Amino acid sequence: MTDLYDYNTLLQRVRENLPEKISTRERFEIPKAEVIHEGKNTIIRNFMDIVKRIDRDPVHVYKYLMRELGTAGNIQERRLVLKGRISPSLIQNRIENYVRTYVICYECGSPDTELRKEGRVEILVCKACGAIRPVHAKIDVRLGRMVLEEGKVYNMDIVDMSRDGDGISKYGDYTVYVPGTKKGEKAKVKIIKIKKNVAFGTKVD
């Protein structure tokens, strides 16, 4: 006779009652921003593809990027045209920040969420686990959060160069400046100083 309250039996019953969308969910991946420069403008060629994948209002994403990048721009068909020359790594970082803030559930890590507005407050509602939170609340998303610590060594990809000739790496929400490195290089970097989302490191052998 099967014990109705046996752990394995209960687990099987839960799995059988899961909605198909949740039980068969594929890995959530955001299309990488296809960035090109035309004259003094920067263009995200697949902007609408990204917006469609994360299931958000194009205007909402557009306004967020304008604010975060400190520039102006406009949507042209499937592209987003930005004023000025902006590095692809910075654009990709801001898109990932948007997804962490406005798409991913902080409880279960599901992207199956809905963005609602109640008065002046934007609310993120998870369709998978039912979690609800205002998006301005400072809650750490559990999925993929990366934290730097002073004195520790990290493997980093140098993705850009500063005006002073220092290599620039991205680590989660951090921009890391590493003197003596070049774009395209992989380096071991010891973090010397951290100030908010900016860090300074030194290359180590």
- Domains, the chain, in order of start with CATH, read 35-103 (3.30.70.3150), 153-204 (2.40.50.140)
- pLDDT for 197: 81
User: What is the distance between the alpha carbons of residues 107 and 13, in angstroms, rounded to a whole number?
Assistant: 23
Tokens of 106: 């902080």
3-state DSSP assignment of residue 65: helix
CB-based burial label for 48 (10 Å; 0-12, 13-18, 19+): middle
Candidate from 5-9, 32-36, 176-180 with smallest mean pLDDT: 5-9
38-96, pLDDT tens digit by residue? Answer: 999 999 999 999 999 999 999 999 999 999 888 999 999 999 999 999 999 999 999 99
pTM: 0.57
105-155, pLDDT tens digit by residue? Answer: 888 888 999 999 888 889 999 988 888 888 864 444 443 456 788 999 998
- pLDDT for 11: 52
